[in-house]
């Protein structure tokens, strides 16, 4: 079970976000790092500054972050290649990656679930990352080109072969999670979720009840809550942190299975995000943020 998140400022080299055991046996700190933004515009090609991207990656373990989430489609391949270049052999780090999307240009993502393609995704990620087994491999999307059961069966075979330790799913429903369970234990679910996007609220509650790690993508989206006069800047000012740190603290308090992975290509921004790991919101602050965020979502304010 996750440990409680202590309060106070974040000390250098510490990650006070508490821990969670992915799949029951892979313990990580709850605040991780998303490696999508160490690529070019549209998540396509090399980053504007390779040196800044590499410096950001080098800072990750220094801040006590031990969960890095990436995907073969980020770049494509750029993110995985940079992770290996900077961090291999990954002492104390869990590198989670994803497969199942094809790339045809900036901001173009097309899912393919063909079992042969999924196997290629896993094998090539192993090669790029320099691993013999991927600790957490996630199906980036359930492909529309074949039945989901066929995709789950292919993933189960790769898990049985020892290519994958734990399996996660991304952008799925409760029905999808339950349909996958006869094939493998679902260790994590990665759906979009943040203060102003509650579309996956029921999925999060299901994961909480089942002890499934929930990885919210776009965790820093704040929409209308970032505007002057909303409760978010007020709470941030009270604690002497940025709005993003408060948004992360809210996520960490929302559920003990929550594993936020804010992404950035800037080492300074990475350090700023860590303030969210050390911040414990009061129940009143949490409820105020929850209410305003839910209202913004219902009004179509997600961004």
d(CA 51, CA 155): 36
Mean pLDDT score, 150-163: 98
Q: What is the rounded CA–CA span in Å between residue 194 and residue 207? A: 16
Write b or e for each residue in 270-296: b if 16 or more Cβ atoms lie within 10 A of its Cβ, otherwise e: bbbbbbbbbbbbeeebbebbbebbeeb
The 10s digit of each residue's pLDDT in 223-280 is: 889 887 899 999 999 999 999 999 999 999 999 999 999 999 999 999 999 999 999 9
Q: Where are the domains of the chain?
A: 19-223+257-265
Burial of 266 (0-12, 13-18, 19+ CB in 10 A): middle
Query: Residues 97-107: what's their mean pLDDT?
Result: 98
pLDDT over threshold 70, residue 7: no
DSSP annotation of 4 reads P
Confidence of residue 4 (pLDDT cuts 50, 70, 90): very low
pLDDT value at residue 228: 79
Summarised one tens digit per residue, pLDDT across range 26-61 is 999 999 999 999 999 999 999 999 999 999 999 999
pTM for the whole thing? 0.94
pLDDT at 300: 83
Q: Which CATH number fits domain 19-223+257-265: 3.90.1200.10, 3.40.50.2300, 3.20.20.100, 3.40.640.10?
A: 3.20.20.100
Given this model, what pLDDT does residue 215 score?
A: 98
Burial of 194 (0-12, 13-18, 19+ CB in 10 A): buried
Order of strands, edge to edge, in the sheet holding 186-192?
Answer: 33-34, 67-69, 94-99, 134-139, 164-170, 186-192, 213-217
Taking alpha carbons only, the member of 78, 95, 87 closest to residue 55 is 87
Q: In the predicted model, is pLDDT for residue 10 greater than 90? A: no
Q: What is the DSSP string of 162-189?
A: TSEEEEEEES--HHHHHHHTTTS-EEEE
Active-site positions read 74
Q: What is the mean pLDDT of the chain?
A: 93
- pLDDT grade for 13, boundaries at 50, 70 and 90: low
CA distance 162 to 12: 36
Q: Write down the pLDDT at residue 302.
A: 47
CA–CA gap between residue 45 and residue 230 (Å, rounded): 37
Token readout for 254 is 């929302």
Q: Is the pLDDT of residue 216 over 70?
A: yes
The predicted-structure confidence for 279-293, as pLDDT tens digits, reads as follows 999 999 999 999 999
Across the range 120-149, mean pLDDT stands at 98
State the average pLDDT over residues 173-201. Answer: 98
Q: State the average pLDDT over residues 12-19.
A: 84
Q: What is the C-alpha separation between 152 and 175, in angstroms, rounded?
A: 13
């Amino acid at each position: 079970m996750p440990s409680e998140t202590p309060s106070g400022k974040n000390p250098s080299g510490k990650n006070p976000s508490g821990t969670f055991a992915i799949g029951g046996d892979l313990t990580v700190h709850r605040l991780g790092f998303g490696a999508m933004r160490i690529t070019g515009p549209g998540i396509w090609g090399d980053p504007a500054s390779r040196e800044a991207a590499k410096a950001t990656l080098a800072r990750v373990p220094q801040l006590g972050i031990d969960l890095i989430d990436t995907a073969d489609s980020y770049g494509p391949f750029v993110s995985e290649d940079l992770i290996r270049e900077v961090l291999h052999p990954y002492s104390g780090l869990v590198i989670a990656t994803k497969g199942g999307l094809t790339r045809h240009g900036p901001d173009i993502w097309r899912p393919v679930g063909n079992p042969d393609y999924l196997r290629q995704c896993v094998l090539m990620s192993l090669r790029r990352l320099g691993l013999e087994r991927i600790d957490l491999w996630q199906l980036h999307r359930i492909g529309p080109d074949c039945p989901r059961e066929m995709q789950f069966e292919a993933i189960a075979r790769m898990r049985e072969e020892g290519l994958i330790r734990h399996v996660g799913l991304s952008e799925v429903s409760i029905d999808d999670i339950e349909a996958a369970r006869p094939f493998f234990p679902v260790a994590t679910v990665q759906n979009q979720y943040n203060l102003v996007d509650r579309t996956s609220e029921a999925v999060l509650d299901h994961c909480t009840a089942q002890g499934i790690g929930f990885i919210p993508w776009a965790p820093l989206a704040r929409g209308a809550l970032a505007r002057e006069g909303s409760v978010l800047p007020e709470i941030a000012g009270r604690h002497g942190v940025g709005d993003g740190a408060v948004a992360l603290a809210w996520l960490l308090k929302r559920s003990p299975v929550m594993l936020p992975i804010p992404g950035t290509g800037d080492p300074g921004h990475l350090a700023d995000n860590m303030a969210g790991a050390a911040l414990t919101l009061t129940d009143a602050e949490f409820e105020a943020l929850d209410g305003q965020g839910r209202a913004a979502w219902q009004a179509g304010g997600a961004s």
